[in-house]
Structure 1
Amino acid sequence: MATDKPVLIAGAGIASLLLAHSLRRSNIPFKIFERDASFVYRAQGYRLRLSAEGLDAIESVLGPETFQRFWDACGKTLGRGFAVLDAITGETISSRPSAGPAPPAAPPGTTGPSQALVSRDGKVVGIARGTMRKLFAEGSEEHIEWSKDVTGYERTPTGVRAIFADGTKSIEGSLLVGGEGIRSKVAKQVSGGRLKVFDTGARGIHGQAPTGAFKGLGEGVFILKDDTRPEGAISIITNVRPGEMNDPDVQFGWTMVGRPGVIRPPEGEDINAVVGKPVADIAQRLTQNWHANFKPLFDQMNVNEAAFWRITCSSPSGVPEWPNDARVTVLGDAVHSMTPAGGNGANTAVRGAALLGRLLGEAGGWKEGLTEAYEREIRVLGSEAVKASYQTAKGEFGIEIDEERTPVV
């Protein structure tokens, strides 16, 4: 690699790792600082659905050979297509084939457009977040420093240093990219607090179960809705993929979401610290009256992989402007966190990573004006995605954000 000062990247999420892959291909040095101890430190087995735009961005960074391996690792679903089912009776509320030019209709009670499920080859494409991280990280492992919690930065006359929770500092870098998620300290510092992530009050649970537990559904993308609960509705979304139904070593995932107040961690517990059996117990209790075709998803779930999810969202009014810092910028959820409605969070993140990587590659590394050009584009891309996600989630999850009163993360 070149001997110039490295690009410093806070966080080893999917956007940060894709950016690192782009930098490595462009022979630009980098360092990644991740607060976790390893890739498997926390449960992260839930799947991400990839749009055509997301796949295009990933392919542009990985190149033909690596992208082929990534594509082979993705699950592809066609079959029945998309269906909304009554979780109690098992009856179909609405359905349509996944193929075709029009996106599926939004589930009853929702507002705003639904994202088209199909992305390539007339199929719904998805991959586990953990698998995506490992594939993106290939070749960059030696540049990741684990258990390094970035809490801020300091500018130097010719660069920038990351500051860690223990008070130590990184080597000097040419650029610092805050990609450490919704609690990004880099984002808060560089934007002067203008970048905010709101806690919507809604919660989710991620779970996994053996393929045999999904036989009552068949192939397709499904939303199971339970509107009978007096405290508020809950639903799950899952993608049952062909070719794997009879493989006992494969697990399919599901994601449960509920209106504010419905899904709660045990009394007094931090939602980020509770994983495994306590979370599985809550999921099983919430679904105890569901139809027999769906019960195996919870009765047979992999208890160790159960994890809560705090549903957050950046400013629905749009990604704000802040005084540009030529040496510091932000990426992924740190700049445009969004609800799961529409399934566009990861797709927007990888598009941002591809954009920033391309600009750095074309410039041969950092240069004046680069972060300003990147932020101008990511502000538009992020604002559009967050707004669409929020409008759909208002109806689907019953959330409402008042940017003056809603708590921030």
Structure 2
Amino acid sequence: MSQKPILISGGGLASLLLARSLLLSKIPFQVFERDASLAFRGQGYRLRLSSEGLDAIESVLDPASFQRFYDRCGKTGGNGLVSLDAITGEVIGEQRVGAGENLGSRDGKIVGIARGDMRQLFMEGCEEFVHFNKHVTGYELTEDQEGEGKGVRAVFADGSKSVQGSLLVGGEGLRSTVAKQLSGGRLKVYDLGARGIHGQAPTTAFRALGEGVFRIVDEGEGETAPGSQSQGRGRGRVSIITNVRPNDMHDANVEFGWTMVGVPGVITAPNDDYSIVGKTAADLAKSLTKNWHPRFKPLFDQMNEREAAFWKITCSTPTGVPEWPNEPRVTVIGDAAHAMTPAGGIGANTAVRDSALLGRLLREAQAHAGGNYEGVTAAYEKEMRRYAGEAVRSSYGTATKMFQAHIDELSKTV
């Protein structure tokens, strides 16, 4: 009798790394992604990998695949994280590798990689089991049918259903319908009010910064950007962070990215539509930085306007991952379980830890119980709540200082 597959909702980082783990463990699986392809939407900013994140990825991939992954990563040296005044260009703070946020990953370097590259590398070998244009809106538990045992089916937006699976893993991000159904609404994601813009420019625009990780801060004294909600009362704090790697610094055909964040009220998309990409977002970024020091102007003057995109800053319950009645056939990973602010750069690193942990537990159950996964979701959720809860609290704590963000009982959810 053929084994029922593990069903995975969503094709993000956590989902694809879990799929890769199952592939290597020879456990059947199916991935359902709502988009038409991996390149359907913008991939967002470059991700910094912590030592924990790298260890998790290495524990999943075979040695040759991990070497290819690590070779694709950028390794940034320099002085660690350097904070600069956006108006004067002066250094206002430094954080060495290994201090504070523990920026270093391996060999004294800050390791980072683009989200799109990560997804592409994780998906290698899994292509035939990944189904695009499949929007999961929920699930139904199935009872024993013709001796096949209990199972679960994913329900799609068009009303159709997946094959029967042994387990469903919700990994479709912070708007996960699987997470809402599983937790009975206990898993919530709050809108912090702060907003951001992601931008890209040729690497030649970054020469004046040199190698390193830089946070450029404008405390917002003076003129307000046109159209801002805070116009007439002082613009409020705006900052960008960027990782300038030594490779490709003189190649105008290669682009680096930067990520801008504004405190609530500073960055506002037209009609509150944060799916807008292109010139509208680029023009606002240029307006907000028009008085910045000439050293930083090329980042905006030379930006690839087509790649500019708005984004909201969100966070799940700051006290940690809530508990819900365990369901042996359904669980959640990544942002579906613990959405985080970008503060500290720990969201993606926590997500890949989920994939490594759940993949290992499923592999062990496959080896010892022949595909009986009873108890796996409970064991996974217990351990995940421990490290993910710490990460959410840390991310939120940093965000309250960096973005002037706050969550209370009146905060909006997404």
Whether these two folds match at TM > 0.5 is yes
Which one-letter code corresponds to 1:325 in the other structure? E
Structure 1 position 248, deviation (Å): 2.5
1:4-403 equivalences under 5 Å are: 4-98=3-97, 101-103=98-100, 115-157=101-143, 158-229=150-221, 230-266=234-270, 268-272=271-275, 274-364=276-366, 365-402=371-408
- The aligned length equals 392
Note the C-alpha offset of 1:159. 0.3
Cα distance, 1:280 vs. partner?
A: 1.0
* Alignment partners' CA distance in 1, 2:17 and 2:287: 38
Shift in Å, 1:67: 0.4
Letter in 2 for 1:327: R
Q: Distance in 2 between matches of 1:172 and 1:223?
A: 48
Amino acid at match of 2:412: P
Range moving further from structure 2, 309-318 or 239-248: 239-248
CA deviations on 1:184-224 (whole Å, 9 max, x unpaired) are: 00000000000001111111111111110001111110000
| 8 Å contact kept, 1:175–1:366 | no
Corresponding residue of 1:110 = none
Alignment CA distance shift 1:241-1:337 (3 Å): same
Q: What is the CA–CA distance in structure 2 between the aligned matches of 1:95 and 1:375, rounded to whole Å?
A: 37
The residue type equivalent to 1:270 in the other structure is D
CA distance in 2, matches of 1:167, 1:366: 29
Mapped partners of 2:182, 2:192: distance in 1 = 24
**What's the offset of the Cα at 1:102?**
2.4
CA distance in 2 between counterparts of 1:243 and 1:181 reads 32
Q: What is the percent sequence identity of the aligned residues?
A: 66
Question: Contact 1:79 / 1:220 at 8 angstroms: preserved in 2?
Answer: yes
For 1:247 and 1:231, the matched residues in 2 are separated by 35
Preserved CA contact (<8 Å) 1:280 1:303: yes
CA–CA distance in structure 2, aligned partners of residues 175 and 303 of structure 1: 43
Residues 295-341 of structure 1 show CA distances to partners (whole Å, capped at 9, x for unaligned) of 11111111121111111001011111000001000000001111111
What whole-Å deviation, never above 9, does each CA across 1:26-57 have from its counterpart, x for those lacking one?
00011111111111111114100000000000
Within 1, Cα distance between the matches of 2:312 and 2:385?
24
Q: Is the 8 A contact 1:224 1:237 kept in 2?
A: yes
What do residues 63-87 of structure 1 show as CA deviations (whole Å, max 9, x unaligned)? 2100000000000011232210001
CA gap 1:285/1:12 in 2 versus in 1, 3 angstroms: same
Q: What is the CA-CA distance between 1:96 and the residue it aligns to?
A: 4.2
Q: Aligned with 1:202: secondary structure?
A: strand
CA–CA distance in structure 1, aligned partners of residues 66 and 165 of structure 2:
29
C-alpha displacement at 1:408, in angstroms? Answer: 0.7
How far apart, in 2, do the equivalents of 1:392 and 1:225 lie? 15
Q: 1:360–1:366: 8 Å Cα contact kept in structure 2?
A: no
Secondary structure at 2:259's aligned position in 1?
strand
Equivalent AA in structure 2 for residue 407 of structure 1: K
CA distance in 1, matches of 2:133, 2:191: 26
1:79-129 Cα distance to aligned partner (Å, 9 max, x none): 23221000111111012443xx422xxxxxxxxxxx211010000000000
Q: Per the alignment, in what secondary structure is the counterpart of residue 152 of structure 2?
A: strand
Q: Which structure 1 segments of 5+ residues have no match? A: 104-114
Kept after mapping to 2: 8 A contact 1:332/1:348: yes
Which segments of 5 or more consecutive residues in structure 2 lack a partner in the other structure?
Answer: 144-149, 222-233
Q: CA deviation at 1:141?
A: 1.0
Question: What secondary structure does 2:61 align onto?
Answer: helix
Residue 15 of structure 1: how far off its partner (Å): 0.4
How high is the TM-score relative to the length of structure 2?
0.93
Bigger radius of gyration: 2
- The range that moved more, 321-330 or 304-313, is 304-313
Q: Aligned pair in 2 of structure 1 residues 333, 279: CA closer, same or farther (>3 Å)? A: same
Q: Which residue of 2 aligns with 1:112?
A: none
Letter in 2 for 1:134: Q
Q: Is the CA contact 1:45–1:208 (under 8 Å) kept in the aligned structure 2?
A: no
In 1: Cα distance, 2:79 partner to 2:254 partner:
20
Return the structure number with greater relative CO, CA threshold 8 A, min gap 6: 1
The Cα shift of 1:366 comes to: 4.8
Backbone CA RMSD of aligned residues: 1.2
The normalised TM-score by structure 1 is: 0.94
Is the 1:3–1:29 Cα contact (8 Å) retained in structure 2?
no
Deviation at 1:228, TM superposition (A): 2.3
1:243 positional shift: 2.5
* Helix, strand or coil at the partner of 1:405: coil
